[in-house]
A and B are shown apart, each in its own frame.
Chain A
Amino acid sequence: MASAAIPANQIPETKTNYLTNGYSLKSWLLTTDHKRIAVLYLISITAFFFLGGFFAMLIRLELLTPASDLMHADTYNKAFTMHGMIMVFFFLIPVVPATLGNFLVPMMIGAKDLAFPRINLLSWYLYIIGGGLILHCMLTGGVDTGWTFYTPFSTAFTNTKIIEAGLAAFIAGFSSIFTGLNFIVTIHRMRAPGLTWSRLPLFIWAQYATSIIMILGTPVVAITIVLVAVERLFHLGIFDPRLGGDPLLFQHLFWFYSHPAVYIMILPSMGVISELITAFSRKRVFGYRFVALSSIAIAVIGFLVWAHHMFVAGISLYAAMIFSFLTFFVGVPSAIKVFNWTATLYKGSISYATPMLYAFGFIGLFTIGGLTGLFLATLGIDVHVTDTYFVVAHFHYVMVGGVVMGFLGGMHFWWPKISGRLYPEGWAKLSALLVFVGFNLTFFPQFILGYLGMPRRYADYSAMPDFQVLNVLSTAGASVLAVGYLLPMIYFLWSLRYGPRAEANPWAAAGLEWMTASPPPTFNFDETPVVTWEAYNYEELDHLKEQKEVAVG
């Protein structure tokens, strides 16, 4: 279509695709092509991931010994704040929606682009502005409140750069609001003919649920951060008890968003896993409707559980009981997903390709992360383990073990589509193994540390030197994990130049995105596809393939 306007001086096999449609910097920085924006996001988010990882390594190195000897306590506090802020606002929240989601949502539903391409580009610029601010903030002094900005510490007792950091989070928040808005409109209005809701890939369902949370939750944290900043500037006192304010109000408003934000992070990865499991067992997902609706259920119930972060914060006994009870409800849809994925494997034809290894890893780690979440929802246990390393281990199992495993699995799966190249399978398998082993070595000891009573955010644990053994284990694991994360970046870059060319559908997978060239043309499809089949129609696909083989043979 686009090539119609271009003189036919192209070699047929390298027909213009989205990557070759213009090489100038301007053609990238002013693009409205969702695929190019996805690539821009991929580059910038990867950069932030390694920056956040750098801070993680600093933290782990400091904790190698009980005393605070590598850096001053203040520096340590800034390091974990930066780690948290960068990882949460600039990596975990956007990572899957803004990269894979941006690339795949229009392709999976047979659209030429997202509904609002320019707003999509604006999202990326907002992300970059927010990211630039946080970098500036980091280089000119940093912040030491932790990513949670608890008041009144943040409003009245620290003299670090709260306003700038808050502004960075605020702007990044708007970037994700716009992404969510774009996805919802696109999914509602731009599906290809015949692509009914019950035929949508589960990745789309997950993105849809995520977008609902982005739209409803992010504005609340945005206004909360604004109030913190304004309170610092003008001494308003809305959260300051000395002026009659209530610091718990801040926690309520903050967690009203930040708990659902956890689902912004994990839901898209769950969507990825649904795609991987079906593609590599060549089966329709077990219980499609339940998997799809469980995403929506998580998004909705996720808004009703925020105060479970506050069981020891001074809320009333009965509020705590209600929120504990509601929290167990969130466990159900998450459990449904895990059970359905497992059941999908039954009588499948299971391949051990790298993306599938990541999917197995996801199930393994997310199961542990989810179950330990139940520990924290259980009031009597939460009192002891909250604010200890138990919590740290729990959310890393969900965030890193879940989100990052899903992201990497998805990157391997769709890399041929994004880049048009195949990655080296052997190295990829090695890195999947390293990530899994390194992850468990890093974070499992932290569960034990937490139950033994090591509090979070301690630069110095010389009061309890016996915690050192487990901390050393954890730091050792982190080194393995770092190698596991660096490897894919290296071989993905390598494959851009040396990897074998990928065909349109190297995995013989179902889904509209595989029905167009790799890499796809600028407007995705030469003709708008008309969908007459259900999602994950592997039976038909295999049948067609057999027929073809017979015909050729």
Chain B
Amino acid sequence: MTDLADLTIVEAGAGLRSGDHTARDLLAAVTTRAAVTEAHLHAYLTMDHEGAERAASAADDAFARGEDLGPLQGIPIALKDNMCTKGVDTTASSKILAGWKPPYDATIVARLRAGGAVLTGKTNLDEFAMGSSTENSAFGTTRNPWDTDRVPGGSSGGSAAVVAVGSAFGAFGSDTGGSIRQPAALTGTVGMKPTYGLVSRYGLIAFASSLDQIGPFARTVADSVTLLEAVAGWDRMDATSINGPVPPIGRSLDEGVAGLRVGVVTEFMGDGIDPAVLAATRSMIDKLSGAGATVGEVSLPSSEYALSAYYLIAPAECSANLARFDGVRYGHRATVDGTTEDMMRHSRAEGFGPEVIRRILLGTYALSAGYYDAFYGQAQRVRTLVRDEFAAAYADFDVLVSPTSPTTAFRVGERAADPIAMYYSDVCTIPSNLAGDPSMSVPVGLDADGLPIGFQVMAPALGEERLFQVAAEVERLAGFTARPWLATSEVHTP
């Protein structure tokens, strides 16, 4: 008999409506799964058992009354711990927010609740979403369910791990430079970053405001459509959210790729990309070609500079975004016998971890008098070049493809001492953030160590329909059915 925790959202939803199981059954399945897996993974920072039970019961009552609030009614969903949940700890994995319970819900949380979703808890991340491994969490590293000596990627490593292992049916993460797509690639899940502005950022604890975007983790492309549809759309609380119709995200899932023009980004297919990743990427490109896509090469020469630009823009924005953590109104306050200014300095130095401090310093420097134009200003102009090159590429191609991450999951501690090597993890994902375009990672195979490999599909702004159409075909062509050992039945059968 199938463990309910292994169902997709689409299957679980069908079962709820056919009466095969209840929302409480689904919640029990993921809770039971988590009880085993959390000891290995540490993917959840907080499990809101009470809230989830209430929501599951409410969903069952609603079904009993014949009320249906949408495809997520009764489905257990996890949230990255940088999204504000009223009354439930929200820490961004930082000591500076330890124990903080927001007095309000993020828009995405409110929309999920309104849609009847069962929110299981909050998942681990690199502190303030700064990192690519979840090692920068103040509350311990999350492990990769395929190999617990390895990282799950980051910064949304917790969300990726819970979906990979089945301790939630789906999850939301945030992606500033690859923080959804890279952990999706490293955990064998489908991770998607929508067009900037498609999902409200209200209540998402900001890292870099012009790059941050919330998106879904799921085990299938169809599930990620369901998750995105539940939360996408204009929000009056976010001035940068797109005030217009939501694209028909899942309309063309079954259309295949015949006749579509697929561009392979030259710069992401060479130096620095792991041979196994490269081979799996080429193999998928061949399959797409075999499925009728017109495949061509496209060069994005500025993408070489995108990483450098990103590591100026994101820290600059974060240096201001994180200024509010000062020990005055919430969060950690240092015990200091001195002035408020002393209190602020010590609260911040005690509350922030090293990577966060590093980026705040970097951003402060890049914005300071005398350096602004050479660093921040220049990075913003490079951003324009990257956007322009992408726009030109999309004149010739419907989608662009590349590996998601240069490597498969690396070992815990392997890159911790070398920030630049860590930053390189996002080399293929960052350009979409700079351009504001949608992009997603779909698992296409395993390397020799049995670690998953992600394939990245990129599309122009608001090109979600085409993006998901290609991703669905990639999923079919890959036939990727492997599950991490932590999710297999031996582990969960007493």
Same complex for A and B? Answer no
Which residues of B does A touch, CB under 8 Å? none
Which residues of A does B touch, CB under 8 Å? none
